[in-house]
């Protein structure tokens, strides 16, 4: 039997302890609310449970079966889903970019997608708050977007050989580049040490130099009174006769429990949040909860994340240093000279040996195997890499639905359908050409172009119109007033940069909204 701190109704139950769930747990528990956090995965100890081992640490990602479909079916797992307390923040690269003002106005500016029901200015104070709270390190001047610095902590140095070659290649082509803003310490902070460039950020950070909600927000939430329960798979959101959420059911060690709550917040990410809403259908909500618009699970997005690997006549050693240490956003905004709208970010991106081998087997032009892959691996130290973070436009046909196949809990599995649109494909072609030019300018010979995706978003989009959206700009469900959704699923567009900073800023904003409405008894 699971040991419980709270046995009755609590103020808030949060499903998912990742980037958003951790922030919400800390903010609401510190405000004096009784909070229970439930996560399907384990509660890990970085010093005991992390290892500098690519294969063993794949368990940091969601490994359970998901059905994929579409013209460009997604690879699910470690690259785009976390599993366990801390969620994806445990194994992300810690690139900590803000969205730009243009990201909230795609329809107004470019006639595509939709505008968000909020502006950059609505999130700006929360970007500031989160970056200070976790001591983001960044360049002295960031040339793009609305925020140009300074960051709370100075930029990381020295850079990796891969980052230097990227910056040199950019300079020769007249492309601006900078050290990347990172949620990785460049100096001691709150008892945590600065980064020593081990380079295993995607395998969990044993020294705790890299931020995750596992080591920052969750401990603070627990200290403020929150109860955090690991290995608890939430199977249903419960709704009363009055149409309000009353709590959730969850399974731990084969036993089903119920957690009653005045407020339910889903922060289970882009696949599991829609899946839970659809699996919680009732006679009153036959199409799933919060789904009167029919938009639950619809318009999911990823970032196109193609890799370009080039071989050099000198050692680069892609394993050296933090994976991402240099970046450019020179191609972030719509350029009328291009055959696509919106834009992208490029990163100098390291790769450990297993990731390198796995990646190049899927390179364009056919599978790489046998003597070809052996030769490439023998020359691993001579390869450089640039990675794309490209905006993908929302399309209602890209969606999370329920499959016929069921999981160990008797619930239908998620079916994830995805295809690129024409604009997405044109953007990718431009980005691959740019990445190749950067590597070639520095003397590299492009050998592999590897299609990939990252950073899932959408599926429970925010909006002012209940007929076309699932939640308002604060994540409050249009249909069920005490049901909130707060994670990357509420994104309207994907932007052209890494989304974690925006996820956490939205969570901090939602927490303030909940605290204000609770004080006025309006939840």
Give the span between the Cα atoms of 416 and 421, in whole angstroms. 16
- Regarding predicted confidence, which is higher, 270 or 366? 270
Confidence label for 3 from pLDDT (cuts 50, 70 and 90) = confident
Segment 211-227 shows an average pLDDT of 98
pLDDT in tens, 166-209: 999 999 999 999 999 999 999 999 999 999 988 888 889 999 99
Segment 453-462 shows an average pLDDT of 97
Q: What is the pLDDT of residue 2?
A: 83
Q: What is the pLDDT of residue 318?
A: 96
Confidence label for 40 from pLDDT (cuts 50, 70 and 90) = very high
C-alpha dihedral sign at 59, 61, 62, 65: negative
Segment 396-410 shows an average pLDDT of 96
Q: What is the pLDDT of residue 60?
A: 80
Residue 63 clears pLDDT 80, i.e. is over it = no
- Tokens linked to 402: 């329920």
Q: What is the pLDDT of residue 385?
A: 98
Q: What is the pTM of this model?
A: 0.97
Residue 344 clears pLDDT 90, i.e. is over it = yes
Segment 397-418 shows an average pLDDT of 96
Residue 457 clears pLDDT 90, i.e. is over it = yes
Give the span between the Cα atoms of 80 and 74, in whole angstroms. 10
Of 131, 110, 128, 111, residue with least CA distance to 120: 128
Percent residues over pLDDT 70 in the chain: 100
Q: What is the pLDDT of residue 307?
A: 98
CA atoms within 13 A on the CB side of 478: 21
Q: To the nearest whole number, what is the mean pLDDT of the chain?
A: 96
Give the span between the Cα atoms of 413 and 69, in whole angstroms. 13
Q: What is the distance between the terminal CA atoms of the chain, rounded to a whole angstrom?
A: 32
What phi-psi label fits residue 215: left (phi over 0), alpha (psi between -120 and 50 degrees) or beta?
alpha
Percent residues over pLDDT 90 in the chain: 89
Q: What is the pLDDT of residue 441?
A: 98
What are the phi and psi torsion angles at 382 (to 5°)? -100, 5
Q: Which residues contact 509 (CB under 8 A, 6 or more apart)?
A: 122, 123, 126, 474
Residue 80 clears pLDDT 80, i.e. is over it = no
Q: Which residues contact 206 (CB under 8 A, 6 or more apart)?
A: 46, 47, 50, 51, 52, 198, 200
Residue 52 clears pLDDT 90, i.e. is over it = no
Question: In this structure, are residues 54 and 198 in contact, taking their beta carbons and an 8 Å threshold?
Answer: no
Residue 54 clears pLDDT 90, i.e. is over it = no
Residue 6 clears pLDDT 90, i.e. is over it = no
Q: Which residues contact 68 (CB under 8 A, 6 or more apart)?
A: 74, 75, 76, 415, 416, 417, 418
Q: What is the pLDDT of residue 1?
A: 72
Confidence label for 298 from pLDDT (cuts 50, 70 and 90) = very high
Confidence label for 136 from pLDDT (cuts 50, 70 and 90) = very high
Segment 412-417 shows an average pLDDT of 97
Q: Where are the beta strands (DSSP E) in 19-166?
A: 35-38, 67-69, 137-138, 153-154
- Regarding predicted confidence, which is higher, 45 or 78? 45
DSSP class of 489: G
Q: What is the pLDDT of residue 367?
A: 79
CA dihedral 437, 439, 442, 444 (to 10 degrees): -120
C-alpha dihedral sign at 172, 176, 179, 183: negative
pLDDT in tens, 426-438: 999 999 999 999 9
Q: What is the pLDDT of residue 81?
A: 82
- Tokens linked to 15: 């499903």
Confidence label for 97 from pLDDT (cuts 50, 70 and 90) = very high
Segment 306-329 shows an average pLDDT of 97
Give the span between the Cα atoms of 498 and 504, in whole angstroms. 12
């Amino acid at each position: 039997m699971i040991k419980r701190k709270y046995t009755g109704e609590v103020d808030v139950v949060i499903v998912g302890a990742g980037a958003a769930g951790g922030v919400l747990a800390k903010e609401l528990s510190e405000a004096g609310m009784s909070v229970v956090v439930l996560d399907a995965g384990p509660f890990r100890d970085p010093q005991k449970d992390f290892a500098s081992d690519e294969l063993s640490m794949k368990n940091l990602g969601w490994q359970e079966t998901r059905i994929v479909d579409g013209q460009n079916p997604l690879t699910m797992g470690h690259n785009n889903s976390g599993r366990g307390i801390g969620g994806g923040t445990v194994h992300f690269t810690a690139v900590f970019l803000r969205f730009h003002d243009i990201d909230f106005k795609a329809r107004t500016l470019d006639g595509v997608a939709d505008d968000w029901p909020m502006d950059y200015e609505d999130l700006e104070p929360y970007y500031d708050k989160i970056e200070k709270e976790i001591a983001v390190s960044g360049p002295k001047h960031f040339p793009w977007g609305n925020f140009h610095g300074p960051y709370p902590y100075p930029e990381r140095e020295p850079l990796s050989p891969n980052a230097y070659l990227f910056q040199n290649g950019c300079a020769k082509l007249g492309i601006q580049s900078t050290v990347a803003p990172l949620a990785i310490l460049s100096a001691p902070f709150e008892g945590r040490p600065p980064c020593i460039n081990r380079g295993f950020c995607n395998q969990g950070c044993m020294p705790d130099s890299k931020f995750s909600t596992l080591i920052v927000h969750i401990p603070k939430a627990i200290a403020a009174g929150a109860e955090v329960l690991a290995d608890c798979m939430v199977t249903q959101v419960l709704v009363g006769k009055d149409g309000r959420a009353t709590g959730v059911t969850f399974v731990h060690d084969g036993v089903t429990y119920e957690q009653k709550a005045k407020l339910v917040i889903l922060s289970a990410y882009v696949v599991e949040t829609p899946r839970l809403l659809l699996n919680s259908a009732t006679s009153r909500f036959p199409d799933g909860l919060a789904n009167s618009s029919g938009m639950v699970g619809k318009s999911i997005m990823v970032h196109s994340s193609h890799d370009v690997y080039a071989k050099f006549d000198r050692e680069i050693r892609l394993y050296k240093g933090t994976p991402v240490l240099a970046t450019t956003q020179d191609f972030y905004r719509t350029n009328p000279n291009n055959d696509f709208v919106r834009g992208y970010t490029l990163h100098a991106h390291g790769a450990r040996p297993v990731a390198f081998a796995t990646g190049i087997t899927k390179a364009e032009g056919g599978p790489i195997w046998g003597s070809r892959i052996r030769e490439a691996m023998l020359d691993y130290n001579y390869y450089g890499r640039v990675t794309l973070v490209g905006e993908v436009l929302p399309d209602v046909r890209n969606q999370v639905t329920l499959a016929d196949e069921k999981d160990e809990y008797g619930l239908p599995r998620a079916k994830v359908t995805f295809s690129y649109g024409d604009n997405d494909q044109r953007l990718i072609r431009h980005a691959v050409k740019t990445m190749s030019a950067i590597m070639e300018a520095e003397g590299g010979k492009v050998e592999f172009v590897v299609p990939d995706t990252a950073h899932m978003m959408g599926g429970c989009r925010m909006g002012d119109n209940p007929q076309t959206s699932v939640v308002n700009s604060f994540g409050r469900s249009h249909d069920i007033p005490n049901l909130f959704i707060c994670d990357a699923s509420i994104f309207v567009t994907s932007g052209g940069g890494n989304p974690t900073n925006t996820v956490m800023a939205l969570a901090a904003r939602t927490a303030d909204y909940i605290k204000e409405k609770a004080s006025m008894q309006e939840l």
